[in-house]
Structure 1
């Protein structure tokens, strides 16, 4: 297995540390390279990284868990859980989780507050009140459109349905039941992120936490993927199975969209995968239920247009699943 994983340790330009964890045929491997920062401590399996949009997969699992518990339904309209008049469009919870709500990638008004912090913490000045204020001004466009806004709104609605803040709700319904004790939305005990080799402050996303606020470790994320490989061994079996069910076909491809997860079926194997990034970190997670294979790759450098880390991580997952 190592021959597919070792190249990833040098595939993230500008990172001081990379953590890779994989499972194949019930064998787990964790490889670590570098330090938590320049002149920092050596990485460990419990070093925490910002995981950006991988957070969305956890929000999808929260939706599935609440559906399984009868608290919400997939076809509930999101406006049912919002203040009156906040959103006119009849968007369902499932549409938010499959990027078919028609919402734009970002809420109206966010770019204006983001620009002064664009290279550090662009979402920091956009809070929950700003998210609500953006809803009446939002125009939807039918069809598939990847939307941070949409999944953030999903998490906001689920929290209102439960009467509990998102981070607390996720910990209670998903993180603790799966034993993910080093995964949460706080910036404590995490590595230092880097952007083009320069240290970045911790990612702050108060208005859209369900789209990108989580921090996690190689060990926790591999445990998460192992649960997705073997749902019946967990207390979240129905929800873990539900998130992996194909919902729509992504336009222009033969790939499916599940609840947030991308699904690519090929002869002999099916891959489910997602990536995430913040200004200082890049993350990839994927698994193959047919072959019992899973891969996590984490780097403390933000993604660039030509950085190969995510693509090489996907290629390593595909290689492991066919080896």
Structure 2
């Protein structure tokens, strides 16, 4: 198994200016990461994987395998992977940016931006409901045959809910995709342009894109399906908003640090990131915020798996609205999984411990396996304190 890692430290005053330091500072970390991820790669025949870790602002990168079976190019911390639904955390940040600028509020409904929806069932749901999958039972995906944003809007205009807004959480690409679409309308521009200019550029994430430009296409990994055939994400309605971001391990761990320490960000970005940390609904063991899913920390692997179970992802679950002052009382793990047909990702961090883990793979790894692996590393990081 090909594996190499480097260690980067961040000056206390700046989040996005890493400098090289001694890679031997935490030799036990390499053992923990290998123990967690090397067996996973072998069991699921993963061509390549990039692991990034932050500990008190110090970055460590562990790169395994290849970005392309055809070329044999090794994975590096600059390799670009599809994030799948981890993209939703960036959509949430753009929504937070619009909130901070006063261009939208979460208690308004879609008809403020699309008057044709006035009086329709979807217009009974607020933007907070759309962003937290609690609009009333929007499906996981748009039905077959709906291929464009225009067709998606027509579907939403005629959609009939299964429950009242706020009663159930049903994980849904159309739900948060529509939220991102409305946030872009509030800011009066195209979603992908706004995301790249206001969020990605503002955070200095120069290997993160909605559409990978030709200048970086050589760094864009190929994903692989179950038969090890190369594949990349297909276009679809609200795809940019729901699952369309591609990024590197270096950029994603910088994004994690921005979430751990939003107070050091530009005044336009600090409230945007902080808005994604507010919890709105309690759903079983998990609290649903904007993009990020929250659980008390520390927690067992079984508890983390319960919060990311197939039941949570694929079925409606009762949701209980949280009061504005009903935040977490202790340490909180923020996390988000993501998949496309050829890629799998998981990002988790604990601000109170100043630790975080990014896992990017060019195969859709079995969800419990990646969650167990990240939990193993989080436990190791906590033990190092």
**Number of the residue aligned with 1:144:** 169
CA contact (8 A) 1:200 1:279 kept: no
Query: 1:178-189 counterparts in 2 under 5 A?
Result: 178-187=203-212, 188-189=217-218
Using the alignment, how far apart are the partners of 1:92 and 1:248 within structure 2? 14
| Correspondence for 1:116 | none
Contact 1:282–1:301 (CA<8 Å) still a contact in 2? yes
**Does residue 241 in structure 1 map to residue 271 in structure 2?**
no
| Equivalent pair of 1:204/1:213 in contact (CA under 8 Å) | no
1:21 equivalent in alignment to 2:52: yes
- Of 41, 47, 61, 2:93 maps to 61
**8 Å contact from structure 2 (residues 121, 159) kept in 1:** no
**Counterpart Cα distance in 1 of 2:139 and 2:381:** 33
Cα–Cα, structure 1 residues 17 and 93, in superposed 2: closer, same or farther, change >3 Å?
same
CA distance in 1, matches of 2:273, 2:131: 14
The offset of 1:200, in angstroms, is 3.3
Task: Identify if the C-alpha distance between structure 1 residues 167 and 314 changes in structure 2 by more than 3 Å, giving closer, same or farther.
Answer: farther
Larger Rg: 2
2:152 maps to which residue?
131
Judged with a 3 Å threshold, the aligned counterparts in structure 2 of structure 1 residues 151 and 322 are, in CA distance, closer, same or farther, namely farther
Give the whole-Å Cα distance in 2 for the aligned partners of 1:160 and 1:202: 28
- Whole-angstrom distance in 2 between the partners of 1:71 and 1:318: 41
Write the distance in 2 (CA, Å) between the matches of 1:34 and 1:218: 14
Q: CA deviation at 1:85?
A: 2.9
2:353 alignment partner, SS class: coil
Structure 2 residue aligned with 1:224: 255
Larger relative CO (CA 8 A, sep 6+): 1 or 2?
1
Of stretches 225-234 and 73-82 in structure 1, the one that deviates more from structure 2 is 73-82
Q: Deviation per CA, 1:199-234: give whole Å up to 9, x if none.
A: 233202341221100100000000000000110111
Q: Tell me, yes or no, if the aligned pair for 1:103 and 1:149 is still in contact at 8 Å.
A: no
Q: In the comparison of the two structures, how many residue pairs are matched?
A: 307
Q: Is the 8 A contact 1:9 1:19 kept in 2?
A: no
Q: TM-score, normalised by structure 1?
A: 0.89
Secondary structure at the aligned position of 1:308 is classed as: helix
Displaced runs of 4+ in structure 1, greater than 6 A? none
**Alpha-carbon separation, structure 2, partners of 1:78 and 1:107:** 19
| Structure 1 residue 45 corresponds to structure 2 residue 106 | no
Q: Which runs of 5+ in 2 are unaligned?
A: 1-28, 299-329
Cα distance, 1:106–1:133 mapped onto 2, change above 3 Å: farther
How do 1:1-323 and structure 2 match up within 5 A? 1-6=29-34, 7-12=36-41, 13-38=44-69, 39-85=71-117, 87-89=120-122, 90-106=124-140, 108=142, 110=143, 112-113=144-145, 126-140=147-161, 141-142=163-164, 143-187=168-212, 188-189=217-218, 190-208=220-238, 209-235=240-266, 236-250=269-283, 252-253=284-285, 255-266=286-297, 269-304=331-366, 308-323=369-384
Secondary structure, in 3 states, of the residue corresponding to 2:382? helix
Q: Aligned in 2, Cα 1:223/1:11: closer, same or farther, shift over 3 Å? A: same
Q: Mean alpha-carbon deviation: is it higher for 146-155 or for 273-282? A: 146-155
RMSD: 2.0
Deviation at 1:164, TM superposition (A): 1.2
Tell me the secondary structure at the aligned position of residue 62 of structure 2: strand
**TM-score (norm: length of structure 2):** 0.75
Q: 1:281 to 1:160 in 2, by over 3 A?
A: same
